[in-house]
Amino acid sequence: MSRHIIHWYQPIIQLDAGSILGYEALLRNVLNIYVSPQNLFKYAKKAGISLKLDTYSLQLAMKNANSMLNTLFVNVLPSTLLNKNFIRWWDNHINLSAPIVLELSEIEPVANWSDLKYTVSELHRRGVKIAIDDMGTGYSSLRHWCDLNPDFVKLDGYYINDLTKDNRKQRVIKSLLNLFENTADLIAEKIETQDELHVIRDLGVKYAQGYILGKPAPLQYIIKNLKGDDFEK
């Protein structure tokens, strides 16, 4: 499995400054780069190798971490953090060569919230930041995610679709901004049009990610771009 798995990187932009906060490391299969990370995790779960895929992804991301990328965002399943040996594994295998944010997804149910909260607190003690991915679309209550004291909250693309015309979705985003004020920053995902970009900026969202701001690309292309070179065609 591992020889076919790589990361592509997508920028996360700080809107008021127009600068790059960091990059999300997105899993890709070199045999078919168009298979989404979600489908890769679905396959891994079906094959019983979710933990193996997650830990490999974390090690690969840190191995390829580059100071030019600023903060590195890496997806991880809550079930991986709930493994009883995870913190020991982390201490033995992960060397923080760059700032890292672990994105916890709502795509699977959490078996034990108190244990997850403990693991997250241990990661915080080690200088790791936490993001909640896909906020508002998954299994768990908002209260539980708030209890984890995340540093970032990533707003699912559902709330961006038709956002420019949907006042209800705009009110939801305003409510989340108020809820997490002074504790966590919102990141709007899947921003694909200038109109969507203008609306989330006007609402007060600080960070955004999406094709209009930068598409996922291999690491060598990202580094070339950051150095001012042209991408290879």
In this predicted model, what pLDDT tens digit does every residue of 20-72 receive, in sequence order? 999 999 999 877 777 777 788 788 888 888 999 999 999 999 988 877 788 99
Q: What is the pLDDT of residue 29?
A: 85
User: Does residue 206 or residue 31 have the better pLDDT?
Assistant: 206
Residue 84 has pLDDT above 70, yes or no: yes
* pLDDT the model gives residue 2: 61
User: What pLDDT sits at residue 146?
Assistant: 82
Reported confidence tier of residue 225, pLDDT bands at 50, 70, 90: confident
Asked whether the predicted pLDDT for residue 116 surpasses 80, the reply is: yes
Give the chain's mean pLDDT: 88
DSSP per-residue codes, 131-183: EEEEETSSSS-HHHHHHT--SEEEEPGGGTTTTTT-HHHHHHHHHHHHHTTTT
Nearest Cα to 69, choosing from 127, 9, 26, 133? 9
pLDDT-above-90 percentage for the chain? 60
pLDDT tens, 173-188? 999 899 888 899 999 9
Domains of the chain: 2-226 (3.20.20.450)
Report strand pairing: 207-208 vs 5-14: antiparallel
What does the pLDDT average to over 1-20? 88
Q: In this predicted structure, what is the pLDDT of residue 137?
A: 60
Instruction: Give CA–CA dist 120/134, Å, rounded.
Output: 18
CA distance 207 to 229: 25
Candidates 111, 164, 156, 166; CA nearest to 136 is 156
Q: What is the DSSP string of 25-64?
A: EEEEETTBTTS-HHHHHHHHHHHT-HHHHHHHHHHHHHHT
Q: What confidence score (pLDDT) does residue 196 get? A: 95
Residues 221 and 232 sit within 8 Å (Cβ to Cβ): yes
Instruction: Specify the range with the lowest mean pLDDT, choosing from 31-40, 70-79, 115-124, 184-193.
Output: 31-40
